[in-house]
A = this chain, B = another copy of it.
Amino acid sequence: MSNSFGKLFTLTTFGESHGPAIGGVIDGCPAGIDLDLEAVQSQLDRRKPGQSKITTQRKEPDQVEFLSGIFEGKTTGTSIGFQIQNTNQKSKDYSHNVDVYRPSHADYTYDQKYGVRDHRGGGRSSARETANWIVGGAVAKEIIKGIKITAFTSSVGEIFIDKPYQELDFSQIEQNMVRCADPVTAEKMIEHIGEIKKQGDTVGGTITCVIQNVPIGLGEPIFDKLHAAMGHAMLSINAVKGFEYGSGFCGARMKGSDHNDLFNQDGSTQTNLSGGIQGGISNGMDIYFRVAFKPVATLIQKQDTIDAKGNKVEMQGRGRHDPCVVPRAVPIVEALSAMVMADFYLLSKAKSGL
């Protein structure tokens, strides 16, 4: 079931970039939840293209339609089907790609694995799929209402926020088009992406996510440690190359005497290099992690590549593409985080106090 996500709260998805619709089935959502459909839609709007001069100018309304599982505004405990029509497919933008393998895309591997491939806009490998995740995440958030999940762009290329997240004002994130929590850095990022775009090039970046007000005890060792499931989720996002939580790769350079988080008497810790998770279980401190995105592979530059017969060909991206995917990925990181947290919340409930 490689198109399903989660154990108790699950999302099963379908859809190609240029088919009639994408969508999915949310299973395991408890009954009786007031579902604010406008809130769901507003999350989708955060992800959709065409929001600013630094994102693709492709316009898609991305209107979610719920088909089941909700009655008179409340979830009924049955599976929630939904779909999002693909209304603005310009398949002909991709007609020149029928037999061409775009470098660092999934064209070659899909073709080798499956033998057939919907080449239009990347087909199933397109990031259009992530719109489904936004819907799943928006429903998940209703299950874990007290938990606060905040993601933001923490670096673009070599430009990064050089403050700990505790010093940032999260209310700034949606105030700038890169979704950076630091306004000054945001300006630099926007300028940099603008330059990259002019070059027909793209640039990578990182997203930091902070999860606050987490109940103690979420996570299911040995193989469903909270951070392992979270890493799995983040590594499922298109273009992600790395995941670290708490001290992350920096922690690998440290000594134990510097790294250990000493306890306060109430069980909280004085530092939080653990990143809110110990032994795979949340300890009530903030969970925070960082996700690395490679630069978008589609360039508005000429590139040498091959076609399906192994002939050398020259290609140039002609579609409408993002020079930097990171700002639009911010709500995706939040959505997947919400699904992971909701899933573990339900798992935890199953086993608690008989």
Contacts and interface: CB of A to CB of B under 8 A. Distances in A.
Interface in A6-23: 7-8, 10, 12-16, 19-23
Contact of A295 (B103, B123, B243, B255): B255
Contact of A31 (B228, B251, B351): B351
Given A113-B216, A295-B256, A306-B267, A83 B67 contact: yes
Contacts of A299: 256-257, 260
Interface in A91-147: 101, 103-106, 108-110, 112-118, 123-125, 129, 143
Interface string A220-242: 11111101110111011000011
Given A30-B354, A81-B14, A260-B303, A158 B242 contact: no
A70 to B, nearest CB: 9
B352 A109 contact: no
Contacts of A184: none
A350 B245 CA distance: 27
Contacts of A123: 71, 76, 78
19 contacts: A8-B351, A25-B25, A28-B351, A76-B114, A79-B124, A79-B222, A104-B259, A104-B260, A106-B281, A109-B216, A109-B217, A109-B277, A155-B253, A203-B255, A232-B235, A241-B244, A242-B251, A260-B297, A263-B305
